[in-house]
Amino acid sequence: MTDITIALSKGRIFEDTAPLLKAAGIVALDDPESSRKLILATNRANVRLIIVRASDVPTYVQYGAADLGIAGKDVLHEHGGAGLYQPLDLNIARCRMMVAVPEGFDYDSAVRQGARLRIATKYVQTAREHFADKGVHVDLIKLYGSMELAPLVGLADAIVDLVSSGNTLKANHLKAVEEIMPISARLIINQAALKLKREIIQPVLDAFSDAIKQ
């Protein structure tokens, strides 16, 4: 019997994905939030889940270590998408990729005057493209988390980060000044696996597709 492996991350993505998996008849036997297992069996003998960092999901699927995965568009844009089919926008884990600055900072006139901006972000590729398109000169500083801190302590003029409620920006006296792109999670499939294991992957794809229409 053919087996398939689905790569997921804990947290927001898993919360929103569990109902979709259920619609496809897939239920994890352990709760990934409480279990320390990295490979989770499901109610279906030929389907297993692997739990990886959100930003590692495309890599596992690209190399075929997982056949399918669910990853945010933020992560996919940074990864580049090589070797991946992205057939479905699941419309979950939604937020926006934004440029944000301290409340008192006049971003528009800094940009108008051709200032060179220091930008702290985890999303270096996305930020580079965005500012190149605008013709704004930037120095990019790569961070791995808590970007909101950088402008508060003089590490950067601005950040590029995800915003959903806006509460984190507000709590740190920052304001969003530009939207780069809307973000949601996508189903991704290894291109070779889709061809070789279509019999088992296609029904999962169809079930997800039906579930998000409802």
Q: Can you give the binding site for ligand PRT, defined by CB under 6 A? A: 9, 11-13, 53-55, 72, 74-75, 93, 95, 161-168, 183, 185
Q: Locate all alpha helices (DSSP H) within 24-123, ordered by sequence.
A: 57-62, 73-79, 107-112
Contact 189, 6 (CB under 8 A): no
Q: Can you point out the beta strands (E) in 112-157? A: 117-121, 138-142
By beta-carbon proximity to ligand PRT, the closer residue of 13 and 47 is: 13
Phi then psi dihedrals of residue 185, to 5 deg: -90, 145
Q: How far is the CB of 95 from ligand PRT (least distance, A)?
A: 3
Q: How far is the CB of 114 from ligand PRT (least distance, A)?
A: 29
Q: How far is the CB of 79 from ligand PRT (least distance, A)?
A: 11
CA atoms within 13 A on the CB side of 144: 3
Q: How far is the CB of 176 from ligand PRT (least distance, A)?
A: 9
By beta-carbon proximity to ligand PRT, the closer residue of 99 and 197 is: 99
Q: How far is the CB of 112 from ligand PRT (least distance, A)?
A: 27
By beta-carbon proximity to ligand PRT, the closer residue of 55 and 86 is: 55
By beta-carbon proximity to ligand PRT, the closer residue of 150 and 163 is: 163
By beta-carbon proximity to ligand PRT, the closer residue of 2 and 91 is: 91
The continuous run of DSSP H or E covering 10 comes out as none
Number of Cβ within 10 Å of residue 19's Cβ equals: 11
By beta-carbon proximity to ligand PRT, the closer residue of 47 and 93 is: 93
Quote the Cα angle for 97-53-17, to 5°. 75
d(CA 51, CA 32): 7
d(CA 47, CA 76): 24
Which amino acid, residue 183? I
Nearest residue to ligand PRT, using CB?
72
Q: How far is the CB of 120 from ligand PRT (least distance, A)?
A: 12
Q: Give the Å distances, CA to CA, from 149 to 102, 136, 172.
A: 10, 23, 8
